[in-house]
């Protein structure tokens, strides 16, 4: 079996959107492709070692995703290089990935556009500083798009890990 398929979610601070997406996708893929993937997240202006926000943890927990041990990390060229598939939560996040690694364009997508490679469009709004209800809405929005994208993500995992 080949090495694991690595999926990277990118947001701004790596304490809300990208950790929630990471937790949600891990839960979905554990049922379908256990041991064949790794999901990570990073922030474009994120510092290292900060936990997910309290409300991000709580919103994720409602849907059986545990992100309570999350530690933020900044986006780096090394993370981009290691990833097989990269999702930016906004077009600005996609732009930052491509600023660091122009050659990552073919594996980098605006989250809501996947698998369309168009880099502009609707992003996932940042719930930071808002009430729990907004975090719940954000988690549901992320989950809705992951549900639509899951088959395409699984096909990419299979293409790499069954090669």
Domain range list for the chain: 5-157
State the Cα–Cα distance between residues 126 and 124, nearest whole angstrom. Answer: 7
Q: Which of 53, 60, 59 lies closest to 22 in space, CA to CA? A: 60
12 contacts 44 by C-beta, under 8 angstroms: yes
Catalytic residue among 125, 126, 134, 158: 126
Give, for 43, the enclosing helix (H) or strand (E).
strand 37-43
Catalytic residue among 16, 17, 84, 101: 17
Give, for 145, the enclosing helix (H) or strand (E).
helix 132-161
Check residue 1 and give its pLDDT: 41
Task: List the beta bridge partners of residue 109.
Answer: 87
Give this prediction's pTM.
0.96
Q: Residues in the chain with pLDDT < 50?
A: 1
Told to judge if 17 belongs to the known catalytic residues of this protein, a careful annotator would answer yes
Check residue 46 and give its pLDDT: 72
Catalytic residue among 11, 16, 84, 101: 11
Check residue 162 and give its pLDDT: 86
Q: How far apart are the first and last CA of the chain?
A: 7
Told to judge if 11 belongs to the known catalytic residues of this protein, a careful annotator would answer yes
Q: Which CATH superfamily is domain 5-157 in?
A: Response regulator (3.40.50.2300)
């Amino acid at each position: 079996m080949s090495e694991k398929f690595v999926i990277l979610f990118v947001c701004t601070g790596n304490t809300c959107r990208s950790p929630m997406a990471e937790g949600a996708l891990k839960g979905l893929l554990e049922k379908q492709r256990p041991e064949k993937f790794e999901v990570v997240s990073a922030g474009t202006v994120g510092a290292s070692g900060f936990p997910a926000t309290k409300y991000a943890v709580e919103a994720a927990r409602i849907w059986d995703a545990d992100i309570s041990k999350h530690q933020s990390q900044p986006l780096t060229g090394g993370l981009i290089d290691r990833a097989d598939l990269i999702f930016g939560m906004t077009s600005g996040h996609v732009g930052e990935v491509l600023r660091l690694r122009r050659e990552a364009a073919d594996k980098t997508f605006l989250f809501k556009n996947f698998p369309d490679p168009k880099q502009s469009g609707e992003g996932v709004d940042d719930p930071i500083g808002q009430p729990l209800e907004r975090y719940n809405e954000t988690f549901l929005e992320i989950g809705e798009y992951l549900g639509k994208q899951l088959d395409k993500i699984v096909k990419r995992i299979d293409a790499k890990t069954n090669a």
